[in-house]
Chains A and B, each alone.
Chain A
Amino acid sequence: MDDLIADFVAECREMLEALGGEIVAWEAEPDDRSRLDSIFRFVHTVKGNCGFFEFPRLEALSHAAEDALADVRAGRRDADGPLVSAVLAIIDRIGEMIAAIEAGEEFPAGDDSALIAALAPGAEGPAIPHAAPLEGQGRTATAPRTIRLSVELLDRVMSTVSDMVLARNELARRLRESPTDVSVDGAFERLSSIIAEMRDAITRTRMQRIENLFVGLPRMVRDLTAELGKQVLIDIEGGDVELDREMIEMIRDPLTHIIRNAVDHGIELPADRLKSGKREIGILHVSARQSGNQILIDIHDDGRGIDGKRLVEKAIGAGLFGKDEANALSDRERLALIFEAGLSTANQVTAISGRGVGMDVVRSNIERIGGIVEVDSRLGEGTRMTLRVPLTLTIIPALTVSIAGQHFAIPRSAIEEIVRANGDAVTLERLGGAGVATIRGRRVPQVSLADILGLESEIPERDRTLIVLRLSGGDVYALSVDRIHDHEELVVKPAAPAVMATGLYAGTTLADDGSPILLFDASGLAEVGGVKLEAQERASRIAEGPASEVSKSTAVLLFKGLDGGRRALRLAVVDRIEEIAASAIKEAAGQLRVQVGEAILPLAGVPGAVGEGNVRLFRLNDGNHELGYAFAEVLDFAVIDNDIIHAERPGEVSGVSLINGEPAEIVDAHWLFANHVGVASRGKGQLVCRLPSDDPWMQNMLRPIVEAAGYRVIGDVDEPADLVIASQGSDVSGDEAGQTIWLRSEAEASGKKDSSIYRYDRAGLLMALKSAGTGSGI
C-alpha cells in the first residue's frame, strides 16, 4: 500500500510540475483545447486515485474541479478569469496536500468548501489581471519514457566509472613502459574509448534540462503580478540547456529571488510605464545558454533600472565607505553595491522583497557553487542580471602547479592571468616584508605559496611564476608558485574536516596517476596569506590609472560563423542582431545584399549558398554606413586579453587569438567596410590621396589598396592632397612632391638613390602609405 501511495504522489508531482506552465498559458488562451485537456486529465487522475486511497478531501476538490472543467469542455461554460483562478487555487491546494502525504503528515486542517464554491458560475473570485501568453511554452509537455533512480545509486556508478578511468590510466602507463604487441595496443585503445564514452553517458545521467527550473516561473510571475497589480510578459528561452541536477537545485532560490526582485522593483506599474513612454506590459526575459563549461542564465527586465546614485547614498549612509571613495566608484561598482548586505533601493518593504536581505544571499549562494552574478542596469531602461554557473558541481577545470615538489590544483575560474616573475612587464618589490607585484602598471599584493604552506622552495623568488587570481568580490592578488604544469579537468571531492579546517583547500581530487591532489580555495589562500582584500581593491585603482589604459582589453562578441568557424567581432561595431528570411538575401550589383526592412545592406560572412529558412546577422555600423554579417550563433561576450597573431594577408580575418581558452578568428570590420561598402563609406576628415585619374592601373589595381589603408582617393582635381602616388617619371606639381610615393614598373631599383617602390611590392606600398599617414600628423 505504501508503495502505491508513493507512486501516486510521484505521479501527481510530475503532473503538477508539467502543468505549471500550461495553466498560465491556458488562462491567457482559454479556448486552447489541448491545455484544457491536460489540466482536466490531471484532476481526473487525482480524483480516480484518491477514491482508491481514501483521501476524501482530495477527492472532493478534484471532483469539483473536474465537473467545472467538464462543463467547459462540453461548451456549457467559458473559461473566464474567476473560473481559472478557482481552478488554480484548487490545484494549489492539491499540491499542498500531496506534499503533506509525501512527508507522511496529516493534511493541514482547513475547509475546502470556499474553494469549491468559487468554482460555481458567477461566483466572486479575486480580480486577477491576465498574465500575458508565454512564448517558448507553445507545445504541450510530453514526457519521454523514464525510470526513477536514487541519486546514491548514480553516485556509486559514477565513482565506479572514475575507478575504471584510473585503472585505465594505470594500465596505459604500464603499457607504455613495456614493449607490447600492436594488437594489445589496439584492444587497449578500444577499451579506452569505450570507457570515455561511458564516463560521458554517466555524467549525462546527472544532467537535467533547465526547463525543470523554468517551468514554474510563469506561474510565479503570474501570481506576483496579480498581487502587485502589474502586467508582465515572461519570455523564456533555452529550456533545453542541461546542467547538473544538484546545480539546478542550488540555483533555484537565487533565480526565484532575482525574478521576484525584477517584478517587484524593476517593472513599474502599468500607469507609470505609460507615463515614461513604455508599453503597459513589462517584459521579463529569462534565458539560459551554455558557454564552454559554464551555463549563463540571463534575467532581463525592461523596468526602471537600478539607481546607482541612490545605492551609493545608501552605502554612505550605512557607513560602508566615505564620500571620497564613493566618488571613485565606477558605474559597474556602484551597481555591484546591490550585493552588499543591508542595502536596498526599495522605498518600502513589501511582502515580496525589499528587506535588503536578498542580493547578498543570492551572490553568496551562487559563489558557493563556483558561479558569478553580474549586474548591468540602465536607469529607466531596465536591468540585466547574469548568473554564470559551472556545468557540474564535481568537475572543475583546474591548473596544476607545484611547490617544493608537491602538486596542487587551482580552480581555473579564479585565474585571471599567468605571468613570469622575471618578465618585462612585471616587477616585484618588498615593502616591510610584504610582497607587491606591479604587473603592467597595476599594483597587486603578492604572496608566495611556499610561505603560505610553510614549505621550502628551491627556486629563487625571481624565477617563479605568478598566478594572478581574481576573487569573486573582484579582488586581485598574485600568487607565486614554483612551476605550472597542466590544465586538467578534475573530479573534486570534499576533503575531510581536518583538512578543510585549514581554510586553504576546496577539496581533494585524484590525478591521472592516481595520487591525491589538493585543490586550493583562492579566497582561503588570500586569507591565510594575509592579503587585505577590500582595502586593496580600492587602492589598486590609483596605480591602475593611465598605465593600464594601454593594455586595456578589447570587448568582442564571440560567435560561430555560417561555415562553423569560431570568430570574434569587436563589440563596438555591432549595432544589433537581426533575423531575416534567407529569401531576403540576393546577389545584386556585384555582391550579396540583404534586405532588412526598408534598407538594403551589403552582406558579408556568407561562405557559400545561404540555404533555406532564417539567417541571423549582425548589423555593423561604422557611423556612416551599415553592413550585414551573417552568422550561425552567438557564443559569448568576451575580451581579447591574449596576443593577437596577425594574418599574413589583409582580409576578412585580421588575426587569431585565444579567447576563453580556444582560438578564435578576429573579423576585421574595417576590411569588411572597405570591401563591401567601398568608396561610399569614406567620410570627411580622412587623409586624401591623389591618384592620376587617367592611369587605369592606378585606378583599378592600386585604388582599393589605398582606400583600404584609410585614404580618400581623388583624381586630378584642384584639391589639396595629403599624399600623391605617381608613376616614376611623370610630372607632379612642386608643392606636393614631398609627399609623393613614386612607383616603378621594374622589380629592381635603378640605383641606391632610387626611393621608388615596385608597383607590385604590396608590403612596401602599405608601409609607405602608413608612414605617410602618420607623418602628416593625423
Chain B
Amino acid sequence: MSELLLVVTIAGERVALRSAAVESVVELDALIPVPRAAPHVAGLSALRSRVLTVIDCMRALELGVTDCSDGIREAVVVELDGHHYALLVDLVEDVVEAMSEPSPVRAAMRPGWERISEGMVETETGPLLVVDVAGLIGGAEAKAA
C-alpha cells in the first residue's frame, strides 16, 4: 500500500503533494486581498461557507509572483491546524503512486525549494520532489522565525 501523490506544477517544476493532505482541487475566481499580510498570502476566497486563505506558492518559494489577474486559477485545498488554505499552482496534473520512500536530495537545490523539500520519491513518471505543505503555508518568513 504505497502512498498516493498529487502531481502539480509550481513555477514550471513538477512536484508532488501527499494526497492525504489534500482535500480537493478547486478553481478560484474572486480573490479578496488581505492588506498588510505576508506577501505570499494572495488573499481570501470562499469555498461554500468556508473562507480559504489563498497561498501563492511561487511567492512562498521566492520564485516570482503568480499572475492572478486573468481570472480563474487552479488551486489545491489543504487543511492545516483547523484552517483551510488554497495553494495556487500552475497546473494540477494527476495522481500517481509513490514507488519508494522519500530520500534526501543530495544535490544543492535552490533555497526556496530546499526549505520545503521532504525528499525525493520515485514514481512511474520519474523522480519527484515531495513538498511540505506546512512549509509552503509558512512562507518565506517561517524560516527566519
Show the binding face of A for B, using Cβ within 8 Å: 159, 162-163, 166, 406, 452-455, 493-499, 501-502, 504-505, 508-510, 514-518, 528
CA distance A517 to B30 in the complex (A): 12
CA distance A406 to B36 in the complex (A): 14
B34 interface residue per 8 A CB criterion: yes
Contact across chains for A502 and B83 when beta carbons are under 8 A apart? no
Residue of B nearest to A518 (CB): B34
With a cutoff of 8 Å between Cβ atoms, the chain B residues found around residue A166 in the complex are: 48-49
Q: Which of A454, A498, A528 contacts B53 (CB 8 A)?
A: A498
Known contacts A166-B48, A454-B36, A498-B41; decide if A515 and B53 are in contact (CB<8 Å).
no
CB proximity of B60 to chain A, nearest CB, Å: 10
Interface of B is mostly: mixed
CB proximity of B124 to chain A, nearest CB, Å: 35
Considering residues B32, B34, B138, which has the most beta carbons from chain A within 10 angstroms of its beta carbon?
B34
Contact across chains for B137 and A498 when beta carbons are under 8 A apart? yes
CB proximity of B24 to chain A, nearest CB, Å: 15
CA distance A530 to B39 in the complex (A): 22
CB proximity of A496 to chain B, nearest CB, Å: 4
B33 interface residue per 8 A CB criterion: yes
Contact across chains for B49 and A516 when beta carbons are under 8 A apart? no
Contact across chains for B48 and A163 when beta carbons are under 8 A apart? yes
Known contacts A498-B137, A498-B139, A499-B41; decide if A453 and B35 are in contact (CB<8 Å).
yes
0/1 interface trace, chain B 63-89, chain A, CB 8 Å (1 if under): 000000000000000000101010000
Q: Which of B34, B38, B41, B51 contacts A510 (CB 8 A)?
A: B51
CA distance A502 to B43 in the complex (A): 13
With a cutoff of 8 Å between Cβ atoms, the chain A residues found around residue B35 in the complex are: 406, 452-455, 502, 504
With a cutoff of 8 Å between Cβ atoms, the chain A residues found around residue B83 in the complex are: 494-497
CA distance A504 to B46 in the complex (A): 20
Contact across chains for A518 and B137 when beta carbons are under 8 A apart? no
CA distance A496 to B37 in the complex (A): 11
B22 interface residue per 8 A CB criterion: no
Known contacts A501-B37, A501-B38; decide if A406 and B32 are in contact (CB<8 Å).
yes
Residue of A nearest to B138 (CB): A498
With a cutoff of 8 Å between Cβ atoms, the chain A residues found around residue B41 in the complex are: 496, 498-499
B91 interface residue per 8 A CB criterion: no
The 8 closest A-B pairs by CB, nearest first: A453-B35, A496-B53, A516-B44, A163-B49, A496-B83, A508-B51, A502-B36, A162-B49
With a cutoff of 8 Å between Cβ atoms, the chain A residues found around residue B53 in the complex are: 495-496, 498-499
CA distance A485 to B122 in the complex (A): 55
Q: Which of B34, B40, B51 contacts A502 (CB 8 A)?
A: B34
Contact across chains for B33 and A516 when beta carbons are under 8 A apart? no
Residue of B nearest to A491 (CB): B49
Residue of B nearest to A408 (CB): B35
Q: Which of A455, A494, A498 contacts B37 (CB 8 A)?
A: A498
Residue of A nearest to B55 (CB): A498
0/1 interface trace, chain B 128-145, chain A, CB 8 Å (1 if under): 000000000111000000
B45 interface residue per 8 A CB criterion: yes
CA distance A504 to B49 in the complex (A): 23
Subset of 24 A-B contacts with CB under 8 Å: A159-B49, A162-B49, A166-B49, A452-B35, A453-B36, A454-B36, A455-B35, A493-B51, A495-B53, A497-B81, A498-B37, A498-B53, A498-B137, A499-B37, A502-B37, A504-B35, A505-B34, A509-B51, A510-B46, A514-B46, A516-B46, A516-B51, A517-B32, A528-B36
Contact across chains for A516 and B36 when beta carbons are under 8 A apart? no
Known contacts A159-B49, A166-B49, A508-B44; decide if A515 and B38 are in contact (CB<8 Å).
no
CA distance A504 to B37 in the complex (A): 9
Given A497-B81, A516-B32, 9 other A-B residues pairs in contact with their CB atoms under 8 A: A406-B33, A496-B85, A498-B40, A498-B53, A502-B36, A508-B44, A509-B51, A510-B49, A528-B36
CB proximity of A290 to chain B, nearest CB, Å: 28
Show the binding face of B for A, using Cβ within 8 Å: 30, 32-38, 40-41, 44-46, 48-51, 53, 55, 81, 83, 85, 137-139
With a cutoff of 8 Å between Cβ atoms, the chain B residues found around residue A505 in the complex are: 34
With a cutoff of 8 Å between Cβ atoms, the chain B residues found around residue A502 in the complex are: 34-37
With a cutoff of 8 Å between Cβ atoms, the chain A residues found around residue B55 in the complex are: 498
CA distance A495 to B36 in the complex (A): 14
CA distance A505 to B35 in the complex (A): 10
Residue of A nearest to B80 (CB): A496
CA distance A510 to B51 in the complex (A): 7
CA distance A453 to B34 in the complex (A): 9
CA distance A530 to B3 in the complex (A): 51
CA distance A494 to B50 in the complex (A): 11
CA distance A516 to B44 in the complex (A): 7
With a cutoff of 8 Å between Cβ atoms, the chain A residues found around residue B48 in the complex are: 163, 166
Residue of A nearest to B139 (CB): A498
With a cutoff of 8 Å between Cβ atoms, the chain A residues found around residue B138 in the complex are: 498
With a cutoff of 8 Å between Cβ atoms, the chain A residues found around residue B36 in the complex are: 452-454, 502, 504, 528
Residue of B nearest to A449 (CB): B35
CA distance A454 to B39 in the complex (A): 13
CB proximity of B4 to chain A, nearest CB, Å: 26
With a cutoff of 8 Å between Cβ atoms, the chain B residues found around residue A510 in the complex are: 46, 49, 51
With a cutoff of 8 Å between Cβ atoms, the chain A residues found around residue B38 in the complex are: 498, 501
CA distance A528 to B35 in the complex (A): 12
With a cutoff of 8 Å between Cβ atoms, the chain B residues found around residue A515 in the complex are: 30, 32, 46
CA distance A158 to B83 in the complex (A): 17
Contact across chains for B44 and A518 when beta carbons are under 8 A apart? yes
With a cutoff of 8 Å between Cβ atoms, the chain A residues found around residue B44 in the complex are: 499, 508, 516, 518
CA distance A166 to B85 in the complex (A): 20
CA distance A501 to B85 in the complex (A): 16
Residue of A nearest to B53 (CB): A496
With a cutoff of 8 Å between Cβ atoms, the chain B residues found around residue A504 in the complex are: 35-36
CA distance A4 to B139 in the complex (A): 49
CA distance A501 to B53 in the complex (A): 13
With a cutoff of 8 Å between Cβ atoms, the chain B residues found around residue A163 in the complex are: 48-49
CA distance A261 to B145 in the complex (A): 42
With a cutoff of 8 Å between Cβ atoms, the chain A residues found around residue B85 in the complex are: 496
CB proximity of A728 to chain B, nearest CB, Å: 74
CA distance A508 to B85 in the complex (A): 13
With a cutoff of 8 Å between Cβ atoms, the chain A residues found around residue B50 in the complex are: 159
CB proximity of B48 to chain A, nearest CB, Å: 5
CA distance A514 to B48 in the complex (A): 8
CA distance A280 to B58 in the complex (A): 74
CB proximity of A542 to chain B, nearest CB, Å: 33
With a cutoff of 8 Å between Cβ atoms, the chain B residues found around residue A159 in the complex are: 49-50
Considering residues B30, B37, B48, B51, which has the most beta carbons from chain A within 10 angstroms of its beta carbon?
B51
With a cutoff of 8 Å between Cβ atoms, the chain B residues found around residue A162 in the complex are: 49
